[in-house]
Structure formats: C-alpha cells, structure tokens
Amino acid sequence: MMDRTNESIQDDFILLGFSNRPQLEVVLFVVILIAYLLTVVGNTIIILVSQIDSRLHTPMYFFLTHLSFLDLCFTTSSIPQLLYNLSGSDKTISYTGCAIQLFLFLALGGVECLLLAVMAYDRFVAVCKPLHYMMIMHPKLCLGLVSIAWFGGVANSLIMSPITFKLPRCGHNKVDHFLCEMPALIRLACINTVIIEGTAFVLAIVIVLTPLVLILVSYGYISQAVVKIKSAVGRRKAMNTCSSHLIVVSLFYGNIIYMYMQPGNSASQDQGKLLTLFYNIVTPLLNPLIYSMRNKEVKGALKRLLGANKEVREK
C-alpha cells in the first residue's frame, strides 16, 4: 500500500511558478483573476454577438468566433490551475492533469497559428477580390479551412506531447514554470535532449513559421491592392478591415516565436514565465478589445444588442 502512495506522489508534478517570490503571489493572484474574468466575459460577448446578430454572419466573424473560442479554451486550460497554486502552499498538479495541460497548450497554440493564417487569407480575398468575396469564401470553404487549422494543431500536439512525457526524468518533478509547458518539461530530462529540441524546432517551422509566411504574403498582396486604390476613404476602409487582425498577429507571433524558435535551455526561465503569462492571459484579453474597439460592425452589433435588452426591460 505504501508503494502505491509513493508512486502516486512521484506521479505528481510541482509547479514552482512564482514561489521564489512569495511577496508577488498575492498581487499576481488578484491581477490574474481580474484579467481572466475579463477575458472570459470579453470573448464570450464576441461569440454571442457574432451568433445573435445576423449582420455578422459573414466569414470574417465566423473565424473571429473560433478565435474567441480558442482564447477561452486556451486561458481556461492553465489559468485556473495557476490561480489555485497562487492561492496557497499547494503547488502540485497530477501527472494526468499535467499531460492534459501540455496537450491543450500545444494543440490550441498550433490551431491559433493556423487560424490566424486563415484569417489573413480571408482579409486578402476581401481587399483584393471584393466583388467575388462571398463566392470565394463560401461556407464549405470556411468550414474546411477551420477544420484544417484544428487538425494541424491537434496533430502537432499528438506528436510532441507523448515525446515530451516519455523523456526520463530520474525522479525530477519540480517544473520551473506555472504550467506544464514543453521547454520547462524538457529541462527535467536527465538525458541529452538535442534530438527532441530539434524535432520541436522543425515542427515549430511547420506550425509557426509557415503560417506566418502565408500571413506576410497575404499582406504583401493587400498592400499592393491598397496602394492602387485612388480614393483616400477607400484606402482607409481597406486598412481598417485588416488593422485589428494585424495587431493580433503581432501580439501573438511576437511572443510565440521568441519562446519556441530557440533551444530549450537558452532563454531566461523568469523571462520565459513572463512571456508565457502574457501569451496566456494578456493576448486573449486584448483580442476582443482590439476587434470591438477598432471595428464599427462589432460596436454597432453591441449597441443593437444592448438597445434590444433595454427595450425588453422597459416593457
């Protein structure tokens, strides 16, 4: 019976997180809790508005709904565990919980990379082929593109998650991070991990850099099309349809490339934690704000929804 207990204890991982700075934990708990609640509310509103308002039943908002759903899943896969660990002395996470967290982190991150490339293609068609937009971006194509994004992200995670967990750890179970993230778990290994890191680098090129190249190519064609527009109003309108997506891409890729396109042991661990925290909570929090504040259609839909609710209450 004692052996089973010891095995159970060894199966648990200890997420060190920010335990080396206990004075920060209370502050981080409050800040992250507020940010998480705002993230849930903001992304839920985007999903509801896109579904309820028939004027937003377009490819752009179909993809935006999936982006908001991804952000909800992404933050929920790690932030509640972080809040639990910050709230007390217990920093443990079960082996199964750690495996699920790693799988979701890799899968959802991969899906988001590919989905942002899909959204860039949507903006390319909207700006460069406006007269044929609805014919090209028909529902079957949109569903197919989203399905490819989900398949690619999940496939990447199905490859990397088992490889990472099969690495011998020689009893090491203290993860110097606030979640079960791949570079932090690779650092626990007691063997040479050059091959694993090389595999991760190659997959990162496929999942991270390939979509980024497609995004840059799309915006190259968009820039050419915008330059050819003679009307200043027309140019402004064309850029407004792309500006929100460009900001989201910059926030997302700036963090993910720094974290994953380098060897696992070369980055500062504290810096890695802060970047992952930004990637996990700040970016999903800003996405709905960026799309709602810079998009007249979303602001109009929100006003109509609030106006309808006000009329119902008055009756």
Residues 6+ apart with CB under 8 A from 128: 221, 222, 225
Domain boundaries, the chain: 12-314
* 308 confidence band (pLDDT: 50, 70, 90): low
Q: How many whole angstroms separate alpha carbon 85 and alpha carbon 178?
A: 8
In the predicted model, is pLDDT for residue 213 greater than 60?
yes
For residue 209, the tally of other CB atoms under 10 A from its CB is 15
53: left (phi > 0), else alpha (psi -120 to 50), else beta?
A: beta
User: What's residue 267's pLDDT?
Assistant: 47
Q: How many whole angstroms separate alpha carbon 307 and alpha carbon 310?
A: 5
Three-state SS letters, the chain: CHHHHHHHHHHCEEECCCCCCHHHHHHHHHHHHHHHHHHHHHHHHHHHHHHHCHHHCCHHHHHHHHHHHHHHHHHHCCHHHHHHHHCCCCCEECHHHHHHHHHHHHHHHHHHHHHHHHHHHHHHHHHHCHHHHHHHCCHHHHHHHHHHHHHHHHHHHHHHHHHHHCCCCCCCCEECCCCCCHHHHHCCCCCCCHHHHHHHHHHHHHHHHHHHHHHHHHHHHHHHHHHHCCCHHHHHHHHHHHHHHHHHHHHHHHHHHHHHCCCCCCCCHHHHHHHHHHHHHHHHHHHHHHHHHCCHHHHHHHHHHHHHHHHHHHC
User: Residue 155: exposed, middle, or buried by beta-carbon count in 10 A (0-12, 13-18, 19+)?
Assistant: middle
Contact at 8 Å (CB) between 67 and 103?
Answer: no
Report pLDDT digits (tens) over 168-181: 888 788 888 888 88
Q: How many whole angstroms separate alpha carbon 299 and alpha carbon 132?
A: 26
User: What's residue 58's pLDDT?
Assistant: 87
In the predicted model, is pLDDT for residue 136 greater than 60?
yes
Report pLDDT digits (tens) over 186-203: 888 888 888 888 888 888
| pTM of structure | 0.85
* 46 confidence band (pLDDT: 50, 70, 90): confident
In the predicted model, is pLDDT for residue 3 greater than 60?
no
Q: Is the dihedral of CA 86, 92, 97, 101 positive or negative?
A: positive
User: What's residue 33's pLDDT?
Assistant: 94
Q: Which phi and psi (to 5°) does residue 191 adopt?
A: -130, 170
User: What's residue 122's pLDDT?
Assistant: 93
Percent of the chain's residues with pLDDT above 90: 29
User: What's residue 299's pLDDT?
Assistant: 67
User: What's residue 108's pLDDT?
Assistant: 93
User: What's residue 278's pLDDT?
Assistant: 82
Q: Tell which wins on pLDDT, 64 or 243.
A: 64
Architecture of domain 12-314: Up-down Bundle (1.20)
Residue position matching structure tokens 């565990």: 81
Contact at 8 Å (CB) between 118 and 64?
Answer: no
